Amino acid sequence: MIRTILVLLFLLCFFIISIPLYLIEAIIGHFDIHKKERSSFVIVTTALKIIIWLSGIHLIVKGQEKVPKDQAVLYVSNHRSYFDIVTLYPLTNNTTGFVAKKELERIPFIRRWMRYMNCQFLDRENIKEGLKTILNCIATVKGGCSICIFPEGTRTPGDDMLEFKEGSFKIAEKSGCLIIPVAITNTENVFENHIPFIKASTVVIEFGDPIDLKAMPKEERRHIGSQVQGIIGGMLKENSLANVES
């Protein structure tokens, strides 16, 4: 109970502080859009780190050194919880945008920060709008900002994953960026397993070896979604909570 209250109080304070910060960021962006992206990244990652601390999350990170720091990449992750973004985003290198469901665009407080960070909103019911989102992501990566996607399309707590949507990987194919598989373990135990309370938990995030589509045969690229899903599945099995605690 106390952790939930502390997080809610912090979010209220951050909302109040954000009002003047919106104006400051808008002014910065008027003169230098990339500087605004970097400053927004610092502000949001700092806020998320505070939420991680208040939530009592013990974060175990593996393979972060595999992620290149001098280029934009496509992070591809399984999706278990609302806390996936909270725990993963501060670990990304430089500015990174997420592909999020369209419904989040209706929340002004969240929407403004997400737009500042080059996040894209996906309408899963509209194929035309979905294609537009993918094209925006390709342009974003080419502009030097990484993108993170959850190809399952929705949250799937537990060890099983839904089939990865192959269309998501067009971002890497068309931009030429590296794919970074990411396995997130146990975030659902922070919140979803006992809504509405936040519980202190151990969360494991592992970054896999970068995948370069340009170096793969054309036939293999056609099934890159299932290949990446298999890699993430292997990391999830290795990082199961039972193994971590042992």
b vs e for 34-46, b when ≥16 Cβ sit within 10 Å of the residue's Cβ?
eebbebbbebbbe
Which pLDDT score, from 0 to 100, does residue 153 have? 79
Which pLDDT score, from 0 to 100, does residue 240 have? 80
Q: How far apart are CA 153 and CA 188, in angstroms?
A: 16
Cα–Cα nearest to 145, from 158, 154, 136, 153: 136
Q: How far apart are CA 99 and CA 105, in angstroms?
A: 11
Specify burial of residue 202 (Cβ count, 10 A radius: 0-12, 13-18, 19+).
middle
Task: Using a cut of 0.95, tell me whether the model's pTM lies above it.
Answer: no
The mean of the pLDDT values for the chain is 90
Which pLDDT score, from 0 to 100, does residue 169 have? 92
The letter for the amino acid at 46 is T
In the chain, which stretches have pLDDT less than 50? 245-246
Asked if 147 and 74 count as a contact pair (C-beta separation under 8 A), the reply is yes
